Structure 1
């Protein structure tokens, strides 16, 4: 088997993974979570590899190098899917081998040699040095978190697992990457570029990878006494999520089963207990049904969840009451749910009431989300950690769906890929979910990958939108500045009409190009202004005066400067031929008299294009709505009421100088809106603009329900 770059290949015996049942469930959760993040990192790597190689090709000094980088781009595009597939297969095989006994002589770690040995090429040594540098940086930065992860996996497996045997360790991840890249027919320079990109887009997030894996293991009680290593990215994300949740969720204790957290919630839910009961005579003898019977009833109801287009809302508690009533009539006893199960039913119902009333969820998707109520209720009945564990797959799936649809607007096609994919997820859960939570892992992994693809396409268009907006706004600013310069020199002047037209139509473009390319502090800008000033003077001075004689001596230089400036702005010399003929006539004939060119007085200000902003009412600097507009952050989603029936959902992608223009894009990345801070403030004042809360939907719902329950309990 080919040995690529001193990497010991994974044993062929590993190609057939051991039964996954040998691994603890939490290890599979660690694997799936890591696979999701690594897949996203690889996708980001390949998205940026194309741009990087194109830039290298553009900068290449020889035709050979240019060809090498373009061939590498083509090779990567053709083999990208296979590359990602092989990498993930290697990862899953490495996890499967954790469950194998008697591994003894299996070598999972890339063995990197740094000494020149017989038969070792310079390319191999160069790659080995690059690998060692990468591994050293990861070990130095994230070694402690990796060590804790290895210790926890060792505890679960009942044997020592070294960092270099850890499937998520940098050594093995690099090995997977090199193994997947063996099919790429690229030279060493390209391979080194790919290694750098792997470090930038995959290994740089190792702290998040290890932090989340350690969190999952701690949540199940694996070596909780090891002091957590703070993760830079995880800490930032946790702070954001905590902020969006308004902090009440932090009061819920975190335990393996979620029972402690649920017990804390039950104290609040007492206020709404008694709302799920059969409608029978008071004399009927109450008989609680156990959790298994409740799950069977819910599975029955799950088959009759109405379509999202149904006009009537699906009231879960009402349908459950009707079902309990029918069961009670048949048995002659009042069949009721136990307090704990009723608390779960009420809590889930309250959560969905909040989510379906939330303004950040587009109306088109509320029907689909409502259909998830029974599957989520069954999950909660079986696993109370749904309410306390942010990484619970069912909870994350709901959050991922809500995050993906926040930019959906009425103008979108209701049958596009996003809607269809979410509809498929919902329908599969309704059809297949009974009690095994594995389906939520599968749905989460698949939908997250789909959403990541959607985001990448959107981000690519968004980047083009920003670039186009930046160029256009810079052009408008340059035109506005040039118009100011021309007006200062021309207003009130009496000049030949053809000269005024030349300055307004031709030389203005020379000035615009000059300021865009070189700026207003450049020598080129000063030279272009000086040429314009000399032209104006040349048609206004008498030949007999001393200044006139001096200027006539400078005419050859002036004409050359005019022609050079026009050529630099890509003007066709034939289109300006008449101007130079008429200018020559003015210079050689008396200023006044028969045959003189028509004179005009410039009294109207010159404009060279649309202004940068539409005038709005002047607002004081401390105006509350103006401050609100100025505090909008890049990436925030807003809803803009365009008319009585149309609401545009868009994301702030950039605030562009020089006029601080706010540029918004649709969920596909295309430009949707462009406003000044003052215009946004006016929209806030009249209620046409509102900020959408892009925090995690389930978490916000739980925080709001807890706050409402506290208020309800205080009032009793």
Structure 2
């Protein structure tokens, strides 16, 4: 199983330390296999329950039946799957100990089924999330595992056997992707996403503690020789890593077209560990926190999301209370406060009431903040129930929940292109989400939270959706239906959000596939027009060169300017500018110029021979122009008649005007500088040329409203960019210079775009942070 004897025999003098290190490794292996094995403990029974609930939620019977059969089969194989999963974890340790990489994956390209592709994407998303969430413990653990390898005498580069990829890939390999129906795949990976973070956190904490207790870590050798604690060596190494990160961020070098974010900061705790200041936040929010300097170095314990945000909320309310127009109100500090059950009862009552007050606040028809509207509606409901709100005010935690929901919904509405129907949908969701926030504020910092996933799906369905196609109207109607279900059914079980999100996400995926087809068609249409324009420009130059400063008969000039021009364009487009057929077409025009020249010099025999040789090429030319046999014969007869007499009038002919290009300047570009003249920074334009397909942007309209957009295609000919919204609908087609003009005018921002909820959390934090800046009035709105 392990290689203790081989390790111990490596060196007599090092046998003792090697044996100790081997025991530590065996402990790590045991803890990892036991801990990660817990991922599958009760896993399939939980999925069975979700499938049962889904079957009750008006799903298609056959789909529900397929899901039941599939999950029943997996439940029956639970022991086998758990054994294989643990074996995969053990194998990773064996490969690490044997100092050999994992077996290579075949490089050959093969077609993936839709199920395989979805599984791969879901797995990759979870891996990336876990890598980011556990960046600090993984960094520390990687250093310690390297030190353990050195103790064991293993050389080379070692892939950490406890990295998140190991747990996720081992799970994916338990079954074939296509044996899971689409709905079941979603449930399975959602369940994995929920379970894995907590288990990984415990495994990493235990592994780091075991290695630390054994004195294995970075700087251990130096500590033994100098007498300094190993923690000091870790502390000394931390600034060097930060310096490299800072230096790397000085240049604008998008990787894959993605503008890099601000690096996460670390604080050093008294025990020498560079501890991350924040808990498991979304990537976007962590970046904003770091950007605002919220990293209290020297803190004895890391400050979590809850403490940070609530502290900022209190500062924010204090700042607002200083304004003459603000109503500070009571916050329940000191003295009796309203019981949570009473507040939930009123929220439940308002959940089925008219949501128009919230919708009006969202669109600005009500000048009050949405949080204040929510608070007023709650207090009104409490008074109707006979509660004296002056004697029993809201608690500070309840005030926090109200303000968080108010700012969150307003930020979501402002950061996306949401129209009339979206206003009503969002208004109906306010009370259900307030109930979630009152009882479970993990919604604000857990990406996998079901309420968060539903709000993301609703926003994606409504963003920029004017309902101008049957598919778009159907998507809006579906969003309205799932929201109605949440409003009607949500009491305390968050499975309602999970099912609603899964149902709407399935519809979004269907439209995403349609949008992919639409994007390809739009790209093909643009590419076709660009090729046509390129061909026309090249042909225009060739025709002009044959007609310029050369006297020709009218019949030959007409042939070159009309029929030959069209034939050249067709062969360019169909066969390419360097193809034999296109080069032969060029030769036809040159031969006609030579025939005209010979006829002008009374070389009758040569003219006759040349015309006979041109019969087939001329017929092909006329055919490509759409002329039938009779029309082609008439055209040839006119040319022969013109060439029959040497004294036929000849003159220099001007070619016809080039066809006007049919591309119209995008309206957004006219708004960029207030006129059609393009003014841009060459440096920014150079950066825009580095962007790649998949890069996200934020577009800002003339009213300052932002919306998400994405580069769907880049022309290989003109390098123009096709930009679409979240649902794949075309927003604009711009050149790098035109996009640079939009960026310079503040009408576009090139940066990564997170999920809608993450984007709203950025806005929420920035708004709260403004309360700490005395020179910033943004806090008062």
Q: How far is 1:666 from its partner?
A: 7.2
Q: How far is 1:349 from its partner?
A: 2.0
Query: Which residue pairs with 1:319 in the alignment?
Result: 377
Query: Which residue pairs with 1:294 in the alignment?
Result: 343
Cα pair 2:333 2:396 within 8 Å, conserved: no
What is the DSSP-based 3-state SS (H/G/I as helix, E as strand, rest coil) of the residue aligned with 2:552?
A: strand
1:269 equivalent to 2:313? Answer yes
Query: Which residue pairs with 1:89 in the alignment?
Result: 68
Cα pair 2:685 2:736 within 8 Å, conserved: no
Correspondences of 1:267-666 after superposition (within 5 Å):
267-272=311-316, 286-307=335-356, 312=366, 315-324=373-382, 330=387, 334-362=391-419, 364-409=421-466, 416-542=473-599, 549-550=605-606, 552-567=608-623, 571-587=627-643, 589-592=644-647, 596=648, 599-608=650-659, 610=661, 617=677, 622=682, 624=684, 631=691, 634=694, 636=696, 652-664=711-723
Alpha-carbon distance in structure 2 between the residues aligned to 1:696 and 1:571: 57
Q: How far is 1:532 from its partner?
A: 0.6
Cα pair 1:407 1:637 within 8 Å, conserved: no
What is the DSSP-based 3-state SS (H/G/I as helix, E as strand, rest coil) of the residue aligned with 1:296?
A: helix
Alpha-carbon distance in structure 2 between the residues aligned to 1:473 and 1:579: 32
Alpha-carbon distance in structure 2 between the residues aligned to 1:477 and 1:280: 68
Alpha-carbon distance in structure 1 between the residues aligned to 2:389 and 2:731: 62
Q: How far is 1:292 from its partner?
A: 2.2
Alpha-carbon distance in structure 2 between the residues aligned to 1:284 and 1:470: 65
What is the DSSP-based 3-state SS (H/G/I as helix, E as strand, rest coil) of the residue aligned with 1:287?
A: coil
Q: How far is 1:417 from its partner?
A: 1.7
Alpha-carbon displacement from aligned partner over 1:60-118 (angstroms, at most 9, x marks no partner): xxxxxxxxxxxxxxxxxxxxx9986665333332455579xxx899x999xxxxxxxxx
Query: Which residue pairs with 1:217 in the alignment?
Result: 195
Describe the shift of the 1:568–1:86 C-alpha distance in structure 2 as closer, same or farther (beyond 3 A): farther
Cα pair 1:408 1:667 within 8 Å, conserved: no
Alpha-carbon distance in structure 2 between the residues aligned to 1:323 and 1:168: 49
Q: 667-676 or 482-491: which moved more?
A: 667-676
Unpaired stretches in structure 2, ≥5 consecutive residues: 1-39, 54-59, 86-110, 131-165, 207-257, 263-280, 296-301, 667-675, 776-781
Query: Which residue pairs with 1:696 in the alignment?
Result: 755
Alpha-carbon displacement from aligned partner over 1:313-338 (angstroms, at most 9, x marks no partner): 761022223345556x6559611222
What is the DSSP-based 3-state SS (H/G/I as helix, E as strand, rest coil) of the residue aligned with 1:408?
A: coil
Cα pair 1:316 1:349 within 8 Å, conserved: yes
Alpha-carbon distance in structure 2 between the residues aligned to 1:223 and 1:649: 33
Q: How far is 1:482 from its partner?
A: 0.8
Q: How far is 1:507 from its partner?
A: 1.5
Describe the shift of the 1:174–1:90 C-alpha distance in structure 2 as closer, same or farther (beyond 3 A): farther
Alpha-carbon distance in structure 2 between the residues aligned to 1:202 and 1:370: 29
Alpha-carbon displacement from aligned partner over 1:538-571 (angstroms, at most 9, x marks no partner): 112247667x754543332222322234446664
Alpha-carbon displacement from aligned partner over 1:8-48 (angstroms, at most 9, x marks no partner): xxxxxxxxxxxxxxx98876777899999xxxxxxxxxxxx
Describe the shift of the 1:685–1:246 C-alpha distance in structure 2 as closer, same or farther (beyond 3 A): same
Q: How far is 1:529 from its partner?
A: 1.2
Q: How far is 1:606 from its partner?
A: 4.2
Alpha-carbon distance in structure 1 between the residues aligned to 2:331 and 2:724: 60
Describe the shift of the 1:451–1:525 C-alpha distance in structure 2 as closer, same or farther (beyond 3 A): same
Q: How far is 1:443 from its partner?
A: 0.5
Describe the shift of the 1:707–1:682 C-alpha distance in structure 2 as closer, same or farther (beyond 3 A): closer
Describe the shift of the 1:492–1:31 C-alpha distance in structure 2 as closer, same or farther (beyond 3 A): farther
Normalising by structure 1, what TM-score? 0.63
Alpha-carbon displacement from aligned partner over 1:125-164 (angstroms, at most 9, x marks no partner): xxxxx99xx99xx99xx99x99xx9xxxxxxxxxxxxx9x
Q: How far is 1:447 from its partner?
A: 0.7
Query: Which residue pairs with 2:768 in the alignment?
Result: 709
Alpha-carbon distance in structure 2 between the residues aligned to 1:326 and 1:213: 42
Alpha-carbon distance in structure 1 between the residues aligned to 2:328 and 2:661: 70
Alpha-carbon distance in structure 2 between the residues aligned to 1:209 and 1:477: 50
Describe the shift of the 1:681–1:176 C-alpha distance in structure 2 as closer, same or farther (beyond 3 A): closer
Cα pair 1:26 1:220 within 8 Å, conserved: no
Q: How far is 1:677 from its partner?
A: 4.3
1:176 equivalent to 2:173? Answer no
Alpha-carbon distance in structure 1 between the residues aligned to 2:525 and 2:52: 36
Q: How far is 1:436 from its partner?
A: 1.2
Alpha-carbon distance in structure 2 between the residues aligned to 1:249 and 1:648: 22
Cα pair 2:539 2:565 within 8 Å, conserved: yes
Describe the shift of the 1:324–1:85 C-alpha distance in structure 2 as closer, same or farther (beyond 3 A): closer
Alpha-carbon distance in structure 2 between the residues aligned to 1:533 and 1:281: 92
Alpha-carbon distance in structure 2 between the residues aligned to 1:522 and 1:470: 20
Q: How far is 1:657 from its partner?
A: 3.9
Alpha-carbon distance in structure 2 between the residues aligned to 1:672 and 1:703: 24
Alpha-carbon distance in structure 2 between the residues aligned to 1:283 and 1:551: 106
Describe the shift of the 1:650–1:695 C-alpha distance in structure 2 as closer, same or farther (beyond 3 A): closer
Alpha-carbon distance in structure 2 between the residues aligned to 1:272 and 1:648: 26
Q: How far is 1:442 from its partner?
A: 0.9
Normalising by structure 2, what TM-score? 0.58
Alpha-carbon displacement from aligned partner over 1:340-361 (angstroms, at most 9, x marks no partner): 2322222222222322333544
Describe the shift of the 1:492–1:227 C-alpha distance in structure 2 as closer, same or farther (beyond 3 A): farther
Alpha-carbon distance in structure 2 between the residues aligned to 1:620 and 1:282: 51
Q: How far is 1:410 from its partner?
A: 8.6
What is the DSSP-based 3-state SS (H/G/I as helix, E as strand, rest coil) of the residue aligned with 2:646?
A: coil
Alpha-carbon distance in structure 1 between the residues aligned to 2:331 and 2:726: 55
Q: 513-522 or 445-454: which moved more?
A: 513-522
Alpha-carbon distance in structure 2 between the residues aligned to 1:690 and 1:239: 13
Unpaired stretches in structure 1, ≥5 consecutive residues: 1-22, 37-80, 110-129, 150-162, 181-200, 229-235, 253-257
